Structure 1
């Protein structure tokens, strides 16, 4: 389908949305415990303003299922009010001509001064706001059950070179060293933290953001695949198709020692009543202490006609950016506020560390977008590269072959 045809069909369907006046239909994939609590808070705030929330939740932690549903809805002329979309996909939807210009709302809310430039730019298409950001996630976290490590007599690894010895002790003590869900996006999440820890932020930027062929085919990338193979060795045989939050539960329940996952995992610890520093540890993935891979949740807003529909749209964007929602949402979800000026007083030590590191790494130039979470390169390229990593993860393919395939996949348009 051509871009113009998609846009025409979607615009033709806007009247359907407008007919439901102040209804706010929101497509999202916040379906796990901590995430669902966060969505409920936004619903409560909007209903207090007289708007009617129509939940449009599509399960699937990485959002792939939600994007498939969204495309079919837009093509059929039934676009929701807002949809959870992020990274370069915001620009792709902007190019379709179906998104609302949020500049009046952004100007009234002073978004340009509240958002870091790196975030504001992602939310704009051709200089105009078309999306509203919710939060900042750090992806390169390692979640640790300290009691498991203590029982195994193992030391939490600070570098990938330290990892095998620690994992071996955990395994010999009867624990699963690494809790993991065998889904492509989870494999890719581990991979990007491995690349960052093995090669550092500049190498990560060159290889996984700029897609530089020299970096992609380098010995450093081959070493990254070697390291990924080591991680796979310590994942249990039942990992296939396991959801990420179930892997987190393995760490919470003391069945596994660690998990490599973004800080949305912390919402699961919080929901289970666990205390950071006591029941679990949040640490940068091995070798990534001075780097930060970011993932920003955001909502694109579709064009609406009619004063009531536009008021509801404004209510939604304003509520998402409000200090009240930014605080309660991120307390529930494990992320940190995307806007400045939100008090961190109620946040735990993990969030405070994340907020400080985000600011420090932004200044140091070691703040990098997550490729695994659609923040770095177009979706088609991300998908092709992810397929290479998953194929490697689930086969006996050599690292050298994987490097060649990854470099070729990076050329996908």
Structure 2
């Protein structure tokens, strides 16, 4: 760190190898510009532990200067006056002309810019081990029939077809991709908006639940709850052939020395091509008695600049929030994500499981219900659907 750097406390949950590489890129870029990053990383997949720590610090009157606050949580905190508006930074940086519209929508609330966007993750991503695919001459998994064919061949070869975890947030992540696949973007948007709870009773939601159970069965018996990094490691080692997870898996695989197109490849989850189920990484500048406004605005300006955007997202597996970068500098998986975002005919919808749509309590309740469903073979898809409908109706009251 530069000797004269002013430091900001930053609370986040980027703790895996790929996430740390991405954070290191930000730290280096900030350091070059005389601004320090005092790291307060809280481990825990999905950020549940970090959100609890953050709430505790705010209630204690000791908020961090900067925090990873995303989606609905961000807008709730903005309503409470806890975040520093960044309108001047956005105007100076011409964010309106340089960023994807969906990104500006995510960081805007009440006519103000309330966070600095870092990158866009694509949730509806299916990763597969390229060496296994080449060895067994398997089809690119573009359809569920392709997935079934590959699973059969992998099972015969003694390879687990699909890496899996029963951890609730991971089950919810897979399920929302199936809602998009089975229901299409229009129904998914209704489900995410929760403005018509009866939409959750649609037959296509039932099909998504049935598909979820089928996928869980591909993983073998009692896969249990494991970190998403463990599932990525199975894919990396060729112990599992496929993994459905957000594209942060690409960042993790790269941190271990893998290369997209050589060691692994990815495709949109079947039936979701030209759709982008997104989660946006954002940093909120929190208000406090310390009055670090100038340094906080400087950080927001730096992390949204093109060169910093590329450095961060190339390491994270996500894509820049800007439309003015050169996509040839992205790997195969990242490029498809960025081009899908940029294509005017694509359908772009918010993640329920990753706070882009549902509030924290509804998100957690849905994840818990899905966890109970996949771990209880006696529970029917019909009963699980009834539970989901009840949760959403209760949240809408």
Deviation at 1:412, TM superposition (A): 3.7
Give the structure 2 partner of residue 312 of structure 1: 295
Q: 2:78 aligns with which of 94, 102, 106?
A: 94
Secondary structure in structure 2 of the residue aligned to 1:63: helix
Which of 364, 380, 386 is the matching residue for 1:404?
386
Does the aligned pair in 2 maintain the 1:148–1:256 contact within 8 Å? no
Aligned to 1:253: 237
Distance apart, 1:278 and its partner CA: 2.3
Look up the SS of the partner of 2:10 in the other structure.
strand
Q: State the SS of the aligned residue for 2:241.
A: strand
Q: Give the CA deviation at 1:291.
A: 1.2
How is 1:35-114 mapped onto 2 (pairs within 5 angstroms)?
35-114=19-98
C-alpha separation in 2, matches of 1:390 and 1:198: 20
Distance 1:161 1:219 in 2: 21
Shift of 1:214: 3.5
Per the alignment, in what secondary structure is the counterpart of residue 182 of structure 1? Answer: coil
The 2-side partners of 1:75 and 1:305 are apart by 13
Query: CA offset at residue 200 of structure 1?
Result: 1.5
Which of these residues, 340, 350, 366, is aligned with residue 369 of structure 1? 350
Aligned-residue offset at 1:42: 1.4
| SS across alignment from 1:62 | helix
Query: Per-residue deviation at 1:236?
Result: 4.0
The separation in 1 between residues aligned to 2:180 and 2:290, in whole angstroms, is 48
Tell whether 2:169 aligns with 1:185.
yes
> Paired residue for 2:317?
334
**Are the equivalent residues in 2 in contact too, given 1:100–1:301 (CA < 8 A)?**
yes
Structure 2 partner of 1:9: none
Q: Distance in 1 between matches of 2:82 and 2:275?
A: 36
In 1, are the aligned partners of 2:46 and 2:169 still within 8 Å (CA)? yes
CA distance in 1, matches of 2:264, 2:253: 8
Q: Which moved more, 1:244-253 or 1:37-46?
A: 37-46
Q: Measured at CA, do residues 238 and 39 of structure 1 come closer, stay the same or move farther in structure 2, by a change above 3 Å?
A: farther
Report the more deviating stretch, 79-88 or 149-158: 149-158
Return closer, same or farther for 1:141/1:163 CA change in 2, 3 Å cut-off.
Answer: same
Task: Tell me the distance in 1 between the aligned counterparts of 2:67 and 2:342.
Answer: 28
CA drift of 1:305 comes to: 5.5
Contact 1:38 1:328 in 2 (8 A): yes
Could you state the TM-score of these two structures normalised by the residue count of structure 1?
0.90
2:199 pairs with 1:218: no
Q: Deviations over 1:35-82 (max 9, x none)?
A: 101111212222233333210001123111110000000000010011
CA distance in 1: counterparts of 2:346 and 2:252, whole angstroms: 31
Q: 2:369 aligns with which of 384, 388, 403?
A: 388
5+ residue gaps, structure 2, are none
Q: 1:323 to 1:398 in 2, by over 3 A?
A: same
Structure 1 gaps of 5+ residues are 1-20
CA distance in 1, matches of 2:313, 2:91: 24
Matched residue, 1:125 = 109
Q: CA RMSD in A?
A: 1.9
Q: Is contact 1:217-1:404 (8 Å) kept?
A: yes
Q: Which of 199, 203, 212 is residue 183 of structure 2 equivalent to?
A: 199
* Deviation at residue 253 of structure 1 after TM alignment: 0.7
The count of residues paired between Structure 1 and Structure 2 equals: 390
Q: Are the counterparts in 1 of residues 247 and 318 from structure 2 also a CA contact under 8 Å?
A: yes
Structure 1 residue 184, shift from structure 2 partner: 0.9
Three-state SS of the structure 2 residue aligned to 1:25 is: strand
Deviation of 1:156 after TM superposition, in Å, equals: 4.0
Cα shift at 1:152:
4.9
* The one of 371, 378, 385 aligned to 2:359: 378
Deviation at 1:162, TM superposition (A): 4.2
Q: Does 1:352 align with 2:335?
A: yes
